[in-house]
A and B are shown apart, each in its own frame.
Chain A
């Protein structure tokens, strides 16, 4: 089945630093990738949608200058949390979708970010 690899699985960083999270589709071409954030016992909150070769579309309330998304190829998208603050500590999950409009999403295993 389709596999999405997300790296790193855990990261601890200091306030003010930047952290990059990678999301790769290993065995299919992902025309669209999504980035979600999940707080404990809460639902997945969509942060942004990225299409290969174009700018990401951010959800309302998500700062595009803080959460930089790059989708340079059909198999790789990156999310960079810039100038991280403790309130950015969360579980970040990427997902990828194939070409068909009703394709199920394939999720990475998430990145637990802790900002100290």
Chain B
């Protein structure tokens, strides 16, 4: 069956450092992958999309990589700030298919 795996343990990181989150998927061949941020008691907010033919995508302090051979995406937050503390969800997706499944999410806690 299709699976999306994200580390269930919270990542505690010192302010200013780079946080790196991992999303592994199995039995999927997604055409692209989306990352979302979710704060407690709120709906997710879209951050970045990376396509299968893109190795890397950046947006401000965020960077996403996509390795279709390893079936893995890495999500980096550089120069992390306490305001970056949240849960980050990855969601592989297929062309022509609106259905979106999510990983359990990686919780990030940035310590001032």
| A positions within 8 Å CB-CB of B | 4, 6, 32, 34, 42-44, 46, 49, 91, 93, 95, 97, 101-102, 104-110, 112
Contacts and interface: CB of A to CB of B under 8 A. Distances in A.
Given A44-B44, A49-B99, A102-B31, 15 more contacts: A6-B43, A34-B99, A43-B103, A43-B104, A46-B101, A101-B96, A101-B98, A102-B32, A102-B93, A102-B95, A104-B49, A105-B34, A107-B36, A107-B45, A110-B41
B46 interface: yes
Interface of B: 4, 31-32, 34, 36, 41-46, 49, 89, 93, 95-105
Contacts of A46: 99-101
A105 B111 CA distance: 30
- Interface majority SS (helix, strand, loop, mixed), chain A: strand
B95 A101 contact: yes
10 smallest CB-CB distances across A and B, nearest first, come from: A107-B43, A104-B46, A43-B104, A44-B102, A32-B98, A93-B43, A109-B43, A43-B102, A107-B44, A110-B43
A105 B34 CA distance: 9
A106 B45 CA distance: 7
- Interface majority SS (helix, strand, loop, mixed), chain B: loop
Contacts of A95: 43-44, 100
A48 to B, nearest CB: 10
A106 B32 CA distance: 17
Contacts of B93: 102
Contacts of B89: 43-44
B102 A109 contact: no
Contacts of B99: 34, 46, 49
